[in-house]
Amino acid sequence: MLIRILLSLALSLAAFAETKNLILVTADGLRWQELFTGMDPLLANEKSAGTEGKTALREKFWRDTPEQRRAALMPFFWTTLAPRAVVHEDVRVTNGFRVSYPGYSEILTGRAQDGVIQGNDHIQNPTETLLEFLRRKLKLSRQEVAMFGSWDTFRWIVEKTPGSVTINTGYMNSAETSRIAELSRVQRDILSPWDAVRYDYFAFEMAMDYLTKVKPRVLYIAFGETDDWAHNRRYDRVLESTAYFDRSLERLFKTLNSMPNYRNNTAVVITSDHGRGSKLEDWSSHGSKVEGADRIWAVISGPDQNRAGPIKTQSGIAPAILRMMGLSPEEFLRTRP
Ligand SMILES: [Zn+2]
C-alpha cells in the first residue's frame, strides 16, 4: 500500500513538471553588490576605474541611484529577466572555504564537502554531481549533458566518473561542431592573462553552438572573467565582463525562445560560486577570512520556477533544480562518495 501511494505520488509529481531541460549558468565571484546595485561608489575610485573626472567607464555605468546603475550594467537582467524570474538576493555559501572549487561543488552536489574539498586542488569530485545524476535519471547520452567553461579546474569538479559528461573548459580542444573546432584553434592565438582561464567569449560561443546544433538536455555554462579581473583589481574590466555576461544571458534566452526544443520547457538557473569583500582592501579577494565572501545570489527561471522553493544556501540550489524537474532531491542527497 505504502509503495502504491509513493508510486502514485511520484507519478503525479513527474506529471506536473513541465521542465525537460536544464541550463545552469554561473559567473565566477560576481558580487551581489554589482548585480543588485551596479557600479559600486566605493570602487568607482579604484585606479582602474579612472579617478579623474568623467571617464568613459563612468559614462557607461555610473548613474545616480542603485536601481539606475544596475540597469545600466545589466539591462537585460533587470528589465527583461528579473521581472519574470525568481531572484534570490541573499544566498549563503555553507562550505568553509569560499573559494571556487568548494563553491561549484556545493552547487553541483547539493552539499559542502569540507573534509575533502578544501581549495582548488585538482582532485576528482568524490560525489556524483547533478549533471551525472540527471544523465542517469533521465537516461541521457553523454552528448546530451554538456559543460562549457573558462576555468580549467572544472574538468575535475563537474563529474565523479571521468568521461560521464561532455566537457570543454580551460583551453581544451574539441570538435563537436566545426565552429567549436575553429574556436578551439583560435583560443590559443588569443590568450588571456591567466594560465588556467580562457576568455569567456570562447566558452560561451562554444556553448551556444553546441546548444543550437547538438541540442543537449542539460547544459552548464561557466563564466570566469568576473573573478579573474577582480583578482587583478581591474574594476573597469569587472564591469565590462559583467556587462558581457548580461549580453550573453540575453542571447541565451533569445536562442532558447527561438527553439521548439527549449521554449516553455527549460529551467535556467543562474548563480555564483562565492562572494567577495566589500571594502577597498578586500573587494578583489575572497576566502574563509574575507567578510561577506559567503554571500551569493541565485536566479531561477522556467515553467516550474514557483515549485523550486526557497533557496537560502548554495547547497539548496541543486534540490531546487530537482524539484523543478520533478525529481527527488532526497534521492540525490542520499548518494554518498
Ligand atoms: Zn577567485
Q: pTM for this one? A: 0.94
**Distance of CA 178 from the midpoint of ligand 1 (Å):** 32
**Distance of CA 137 from the midpoint of ligand 1 (Å):** 33
**Distance of CA 302 from the midpoint of ligand 1 (Å):** 29
pLDDT given at position 5: 63
**Distance of CA 59 from the midpoint of ligand 1 (Å):** 28
pLDDT given at position 17: 74
**Distance of CA 140 from the midpoint of ligand 1 (Å):** 33
Question: HEC states along the chain?
Answer: CHHHHHHHHHHHHHHCCCCCEEEEEEECCCCHHHHHHCCCCCHHHCHHHCCCCCCHHHHHHCCCCHHHHHHHHCHHHHHHHCCCCEEEEEEECCCCCCCHHHHHHHHHHCCCCCCCCCCCCCCCCCCCCHHHHHHHHCCCCHHHEEEEECECCHHHHCCCCCCCCEEECCCCCCCCCHHHHHHHHHCCCCCCCCCCECCHHHHHHHHHHHHHHHCCCEEEEEECHHHHHHHCCCHHHHHHHHHHHHHHHHHHHHHHHHCCCCCCCEEEEEECCCCCCCCCCCCCCCCCCCCCCCEEEEEEECCCHHHCCCCCEHHHHHHHHHHHCCCCHHHHHHCCC
- Domains of the chain plus CATH, in order, are 21-334 (3.40.720.10)
pLDDT given at position 46: 79
pLDDT given at position 337: 75
Kindly give the confidence (pLDDT) of every residue in the chain, 337 residues in length, as a single tens digit, with 9 standing for 90 and above: 566 666 655 555 554 679 999 999 999 999 999 999 999 999 987 778 765 556 889 999 999 999 999 999 999 999 999 999 999 999 999 999 999 999 999 999 999 999 999 999 999 999 999 999 999 999 999 999 999 999 999 999 999 999 999 999 999 999 999 999 999 999 999 999 999 999 999 999 999 999 999 999 999 999 999 999 999 999 999 999 999 999 999 999 999 999 999 999 999 999 999 999 999 999 999 999 999 999 999 999 999 999 999 999 999 999 999 999 999 999 999 987 7
Compute the distance between CA of residue 50 and CA of residue 30 in angstroms, rounded to an integer. 21
**Distance of CA 215 from the midpoint of ligand 1 (Å):** 31
**Distance of CA 226 from the midpoint of ligand 1 (Å):** 9
Residues surrounding ion ligand 1 at CB below 5 Å: 29, 227
pLDDT given at position 335: 83
